Structure 1
Amino acid sequence: MSSDAMPVMLDTRHPADFRASIASLDLGVVRLPALNCSPVLSRRTPAHVRRGDPEHL
């Protein structure tokens, strides 16, 4: 997830049952990520934002 879409911290209450997939379609200047996963809590800290979106800060 961190390398294909954006830096993020993921956590789940049921790690043994967790399933996920990620795909990315590169269209030149645009990249479209698609994520499918079991219930998950995602968190982007200020450090994640600085690392993944430096041009927006």
Structure 2
Amino acid sequence: MTERKDTAFSEFIRNASEEEKKAVYGRVMEKASKAQQAVMRTVETHRHVSGVLLMKSTT
């Protein structure tokens, strides 16, 4: 049988208070939301640029 090696994450999950877990979860969700918004802005920018290029090439 192999020895279980705890990670900082697993120790945090086991030992942190509910308040600490909520605070970390809130920060994670905020960062994830900002990252998603950045991706969507990039997609919209590329879509707009592609549309302009397509219109120019077809006229």
Larger relative contact order, structure 1 or 2 (CA cutoff 8 Å, min sep 6): 1
What TM-score do the two structures reach when normalised by structure 1?
Answer: 0.21
More helix by share: 2
Structure with larger Rg: 2
Structure with a larger share of its residues in strand = 1
- TM-score where L is the length of structure 2: 0.20
